[in-house]
Structure 1
């Protein structure tokens, strides 16, 4: 059902989320999708996790009766998904909520899903959720010194020519004195990082700056981020930092690997493509990245989830060559990534959708405990102490949202 996009009720989609843990969100610049309730879901794992989820959703669409007068990407039947980084271990989930509220530009809508036609719910902003209290952070699988030794090991292998790039991650644990209301965390992330996609799917949450792939009426877009520097808040100095990032051989090398891996993965699924010759500098509140937007036209029958499966894991989260990098991660990283750095997002019945990479993210382990993730690309010229500092900077969005 269409809604008035200018209504004050829809000014903040995240404010509509009811007081329950299993809510869903995919919001950027105040637009996107939120949902709650569960009409249907699949949990899957292993190397065929994407195919299993895609087949399940296709079969669900085939037996569903859909009334969709709005006819925009994200209307009608929609599934929110989050997929494991590795084939094993870890689970993946694709979930169809019983209520979805969406907004894009001057169009807004509410969708209800169930065994029988149901009137749309009354929409109103919920009371302000309570912020997390007395949060204490601690190293999880390995501490900083241990992690720098892991990075040094990887650099040695890279210098020996075993591979070109590997992405290594680490984690922190956050413990609160009272149950964490995820709605408060999501609102904080969306306010602080409006240019990122604020997401929550089955206890995995974050604000990712990296769009793995978007399919909208056949047009495919993928944003690649690789190469990082930290702003100071001083405009003139930060302008110089941005210039140095754009000229850094180490960061340009890392970015080139990532962009090429995305282009190579998309090419078999697109009838045409455009890959810019040089990246631009994307400025976020606490970090600057080299970025490239790759575009194309999807081949017939290729859904957004198919494209996400083809792209994962890109060099931005795995490395190059892909198989060798993923094998090295499994050997030396010393932690289970679960759904960190896996695809997260949504898909509708037409195959349109948006899938980001679950970066700047964390997972609720229980009501009071979250596990935070951060990683960085390692190449032959990487310095372990610098890479450790980069992970600390990448923890900041979630730490601030929880603190």
Structure 2
């Protein structure tokens, strides 16, 4: 089928650099909901992006513009670039919903010291579905291929989609640390917590998977979206997963953040799992860990909100493989023009749920003893539109695909009383979603 002519603009930002303006032309038109009934089925293998929950969300492909950034100013640099792109763009949006018009998908490094790239990508095509609304946005660089759609070429956005390829010949191996060594790191962290150095630290580990050929990321995306429909299944620039944790959603002046901290593994026996849920809800260790995470989010959002609602007690979120203590914090943004969803994501990262408490002490300890580069694990991933609205999750239950290799990540909150063997078991449970998504059975 016809598809837009290739066109893209890519820039890289140093901390002191100013990106040149990018002039994009975009049009959003309505689709019949049936045309977006299976968003993942629309994705070609080349440069797909995805943000799906319960079958709704956004998918896209191609690259109209892209920026990379790193270091402590990575969020601010990307936000500044996005504002210049939006200001210079010509946009015809017939739908006017969050996620229509010009949209960028982003993935960011966890650490200020991370040397890898954080990125924002503007796809050439975005297809979205939300409730009764479905749409397609086409984007081109001004002066190159036209992005406009007419009644005569309304299907110009469609592309040939090859069959999704399952990984073959998968082998798994330890990442930076084996299990025994990692338990020693956990024990070291507990000693420091008991000594009063800090209250909590989140320690992560990685697992490596290798296949015979390049991994088609659409395969694990499909399986994750099917097995974990209430999570946000995502892929941006090689980073993919199904996160249960919404760092924040900003929509028309309202901001929501879902905090997860405190975890217990499910057994598969319904009665036993209900008992475990009650145990989790009354666990002093898990409630303490959860309270740290909630407070860090509330404290970070507070300066940007005119009012906030912070529930007094968490609820238990049931997922297929684990259960979490969860709290939804809501607020009203005091200055929407100054606080885009990306700027709010910067303010919230890293929360105690992925770093620890006090956060500066915990992140310093992570850098000292964790023994691996987190890259973009446990950092913001999501999308932003021209109004500054967007959804940013935390890249948990995630992996990074590069050629025939996938690097899987899992992390655990360590507090006083944490047992290394139990934390190792919890991390193994958290590997399950991505590990199973790569399977061929």
Q: Is the 8 A contact 1:15 1:125 kept in 2?
A: no
Q: Does 1:281 align with 2:316?
A: yes
Q: Is the 8 A contact 1:100 1:111 kept in 2?
A: yes
Deviant stretches of 4+, over 6 Å: none
Q: State the alpha-carbon separation in 1 of the partners of residues 257 and 185 from structure 2.
A: 30
Please give the residue correspondences for 1:168-179 in structure 2 after superposition, counting only pairs within 5 Å.
168-179=203-214
Measured against aligned partners, the alpha-carbon deviations of 1:88-133 in whole angstroms (never above 9, x if no partner) come to 1232001111110011001010001112334353547935412111
Single out whichever of 135-144 and 121-130 deviates more from structure 2: 121-130
Q: State the alpha-carbon separation in 2 of the partners of residues 398 and 27 from structure 1.
A: 16
Q: Is the 8 A contact 2:249 2:390 kept in 1?
A: yes
Residue of 249, 261, 270 corresponding to 2:284: 249
Pick closer, same or farther for the CA change 1:105–1:17 going to 2, 3 Å. same
Please give the residue correspondences for 1:175-186 in structure 2 after superposition, counting only pairs within 5 Å.
175-186=210-221
Match of 1:399 in 2: 435
Tell me, what secondary structure is at the counterpart of 1:57?
helix
Match of 1:331 in 2: 368
CA RMSD of aligned residues (A): 1.2
Please give the residue correspondences for 1:291-306 in structure 2 after superposition, counting only pairs within 5 Å.
291-300=326-335, 301=337, 302-306=339-343
Q: State the alpha-carbon separation in 1 of the partners of residues 314 and 217 from structure 2.
A: 35
Q: Is the 8 A contact 2:39 2:127 kept in 1?
A: yes
Please report how far the alpha carbon of residue 230 of structure 1 lies from its aligned counterpart in structure 2 after TM superposition.
1.2
How does the TM-score come out when normalised to structure 1? 0.97
Single out whichever of 175-184 and 141-150 deviates more from structure 2: 175-184
Q: Does 1:6 align with 2:33?
A: yes
Q: State the alpha-carbon separation in 2 of the partners of residues 70 and 360 from structure 1.
A: 33
Q: State the alpha-carbon separation in 2 of the partners of residues 176 and 199 from structure 1.
A: 21
Q: Is the 8 A contact 2:308 2:331 kept in 1?
A: yes
Match of 1:27 in 2: 52
Q: Is the 8 A contact 1:214 1:355 kept in 2?
A: yes
Q: Does 1:134 align with 2:169?
A: yes
Q: Does 1:258 align with 2:283?
A: no
Residue of 69, 84, 91 corresponding to 2:109: 84
Tell me, what secondary structure is at the counterpart of 1:100?
strand
Q: What is the count of residue pairs matched by the alignment?
A: 400
Measured against aligned partners, the alpha-carbon deviations of 1:248-304 in whole angstroms (never above 9, x if no partner) come to 011001000000000000000111000000000000000000000000001212110
Measured against aligned partners, the alpha-carbon deviations of 1:73-101 in whole angstroms (never above 9, x if no partner) come to 00001010000000112320011111100
Match of 1:38 in 2: 63
Q: Does 1:15 align with 2:45?
A: no
Match of 2:18 in 1: none
Pick closer, same or farther for the CA change 1:65–1:126 going to 2, 3 Å. same
Match of 1:143 in 2: 178
Q: State the alpha-carbon separation in 2 of the partners of residues 84 and 170 from structure 1.
A: 16
Tell me, what secondary structure is at the counterpart of 2:292?
helix
How does the TM-score come out when normalised to structure 2? 0.89
Please report how far the alpha carbon of residue 4 of structure 1 lies from its aligned counterpart in structure 2 after TM superposition.
3.9
Please give the residue correspondences for 1:309-328 in structure 2 after superposition, counting only pairs within 5 Å.
309-328=346-365
Q: Is the 8 A contact 2:66 2:121 kept in 1?
A: yes
Measured against aligned partners, the alpha-carbon deviations of 1:196-236 in whole angstroms (never above 9, x if no partner) come to 11110100100000000000111100000000011112111
Q: Is the 8 A contact 2:30 2:95 kept in 1?
A: no
Single out whichever of 110-119 and 201-210 deviates more from structure 2: 110-119
Q: Is the 8 A contact 1:205 1:361 kept in 2?
A: yes
Q: State the alpha-carbon separation in 1 of the partners of residues 264 and 390 from structure 2.
A: 30
Match of 1:217 in 2: 252
Pick closer, same or farther for the CA change 1:122–1:304 going to 2, 3 Å. closer
Q: Is the 8 A contact 1:2 1:110 kept in 2?
A: yes
Single out whichever of 309-318 and 224-233 deviates more from structure 2: 224-233
